[in-house]
Amino acid sequence: MSVSIDIVPIADTLDMYGDADISSAYSLSGHVSISVSSPYSIFERRRTARIMLHSITLTFEGQTEIHTPQTGYCAVRLCSVTREIAPCEPVEMSNEGHEDSDVPCIWNVVFDLPIPGWLPQSASYGVEEVGVRYGLFAEAKFSVIDDSQSNPWSLATLCSSFRSRAKNEKAHRQIRLRRLMCHPEDETGTAPLQSTITYLVNTNVAPDGESKRLRFPNDVLSKIHVLATVPEHADMESHGFPLVIRMRTKDLAAEECKRIQVSSVSANVVQKERYRTRVPSEYMRRYPLPPRPRQPPHEPLRDPHPISFMYDSGLGVFCAMEENASRSFSLLPPNESGVYTLPGNTYPFENDADTSAEAATWYTLESSVPFVHQAPDGKELDWAGPSLLLPTISSPLVNVAHEVRIELTCTYDIPGGSQVATERLAFAIPLSFAFFAPDTNRCITPPPVHSTEETTQSGSPKPSLPAPMPYAPNLPAYSQLFDCNGDRKIDYTVPLPLYTPRSSGSASSSTANLNVDGDETEPLLST
């Protein structure tokens, strides 16, 4: 007898939208297939296969792992959701009537698991490709119903004492979790926009090692205000993002405002990766990780990386054991310096001290900062593998962060002479890289219906059906249908029907009539 199970989810990819949210959940559905077939036999005809299914346990589990020469191997269980999807009572299954068929008899048991919405997206790091992974694990427990007792001298009866009647079958299926961002739309709801974040930055003088050169007066530097605007999320599939810098002075004398120039600006995109062996306490307070007794090595992972077996056998003790390992690199294209020289010999702040102006004027610099998806490696690949652009992620063991490092080169005309002081104002602002959901909210016009050459028996042309829509209409969001506690939302904008008092006829009888076209109809209900 051959019994096997298989996990068939509706999709191998689970998409989550927006930032991690502990109050949200997503549905992962599909079915578990149970196949039963009769084995081949050269001694007797193929017998009917019968089993008694006792239980089917389905578990969704997430894990994150790291492995570096500095930290060694470390693993954390992110979540574990287990459901019993089989009926409460045992179910008998058999392939009676299909014993000689090469196609097994299949039963499908549907499932629908709630998946927490705060989980980090799937990712792999380093040359060993360890990282964040998710999977479905199914286990079916059954017993074989043996009908061979009717023939005590059959071969199956002689061997039945050596076989266990209680059996189980297991199956595993990888699930990829993606986190997607949604483009905001304009007021008309048709054109996608790009949300931005503006930072009021504190500029610092970039060190250059020159101690004898002329410097800016401190009271002048402290009164230069800088605003930097970047996208809330930069698109991973693009090759650049907009950057807007606004500058002005405040409470600075008019003579000082006329001496300041901005000669150039430089921007550099940097990716910083950090790997650690201890989960930060802030992360544990924010997200409900399984407790310590359910974490490795107390409870091993269901699908650990093969590198873990080396540490389980004790060979990993010869590696260096540090708590953290990190690296950072620039994502600028190799042919880009990131420096943009401003043309002209302008003094952008010369009117800032004019109190007659109704509103302050900001000196605005707009640019598009390019980036590459793989930075050129000037040396041999290290333990972390190629310098690839990764989405911004925060997980218990891995943090991938991005920032834009900006330097503004300003000059100051020294009073009473022709000397000019130069300073480079440096600051860094955070940047988030993410994947965006495809824009499917727009209406798709169905293709026109064209006549065909086919005709019916009466000679009239046979009408053709319209082609199917390429995409199905989007379902409404969960928050539009249900409250956060799971109760269905009530649309109070739809008014209730007006109250109509009962007619003053006979109190001992009531009728309900159905009148569509104005004709009299018989009562549908009478008492």
Domains of the chain: 2-178 (2.60.40.640), 196-299+330-436 (2.60.40)
pLDDT for position 447? 40
Q: Which of 60, 66, 58, 62 is nearest to 20 (CA)?
A: 62
| Integer Cα distance of 36 and 27 in angstroms | 29
pTM, whole model, 2 decimals?
Answer: 0.75
C-alpha 41, offset from chain centre: 50
pLDDT for position 495? 75
| Integer Cα distance of 408 and 351 in angstroms | 20
For 407-420, the pLDDT digits (tens) are 998 888 888 777 88
- Contact between 95 and 48 (Cβ < 8 Å): yes
Q: Which of 64, 7, 119, 13 is nearest to 305 (CA)?
A: 64
- Contact between 396 and 128 (Cβ < 8 Å): no
- Give me the mean pLDDT over the 72-81 stretch: 92
Confidence of residue 508 (pLDDT cuts 50, 70, 90): very low
Confidence of residue 421 (pLDDT cuts 50, 70, 90): confident
pLDDT for position 185? 61
Residue in the structure block whose two tokens are 């969704």: 60
- Contact between 64 and 278 (Cβ < 8 Å): no
Mean pLDDT of the chain: 78
Q: Tell whether the model's pLDDT for residue 456 goes beyond 60.
A: no
Confidence of residue 137 (pLDDT cuts 50, 70, 90): very high
pLDDT for position 232? 92
Q: Tell whether the model's pLDDT for residue 294 goes beyond 70.
A: yes
β-pairing verdict for 166-181 and 433-436: parallel
| Integer Cα distance of 388 and 170 in angstroms | 36
Residue 472 Cα distances to 308, 446, 475, angstroms: 44, 11, 9
Residue 395 tokens read as 């997980």
More confident residue, 498 or 355: 498
- Give me the mean pLDDT over the 225-230 stretch: 93
pLDDT for position 208? 66
Q: Which residue type does 334 have?
A: P
C-alpha 316, offset from chain centre: 33
β-pairing verdict for 105-116 and 363-370: unpaired
What whole-number percentage of the chain has pLDDT above 90? 36
pLDDT for position 402? 96
Within a 13 Å sphere around the CA of 143, how many CA atoms are in the beta-carbon half? 8
Q: Any idea which of 6-20, 28-42, 169-183, 482-496 has the lowest mean pLDDT?
A: 482-496
pLDDT for position 489? 77
pLDDT for position 1? 66
pLDDT for position 48? 79
- Give me the mean pLDDT over the 218-223 stretch: 84
Q: Any idea which of 165-174, 212-221, 364-373 has the lowest mean pLDDT?
A: 212-221
- Give me the mean pLDDT over the 162-168 stretch: 67
More confident residue, 206 or 211: 206
| Integer Cα distance of 391 and 373 in angstroms | 11
| Integer Cα distance of 340 and 113 in angstroms | 52
C-alpha 73, offset from chain centre: 25
Within a 13 Å sphere around the CA of 494, how many CA atoms are in the beta-carbon half? 4
Confidence of residue 191 (pLDDT cuts 50, 70, 90): very low
| Integer Cα distance of 239 and 368 in angstroms | 10
- Give me the mean pLDDT over the 510-515 stretch: 36
Q: Which of 32, 169, 33 is nearest to 111 (CA)?
A: 32
Residue in the structure block whose two tokens are 């041999």: 380
Q: Tell whether the model's pLDDT for residue 457 goes beyond 70.
A: no
| Integer Cα distance of 305 and 64 in angstroms | 10
Confidence of residue 323 (pLDDT cuts 50, 70, 90): confident
Q: Any idea which of 194-203, 224-233, 392-401, 503-512 has the lowest mean pLDDT?
A: 503-512
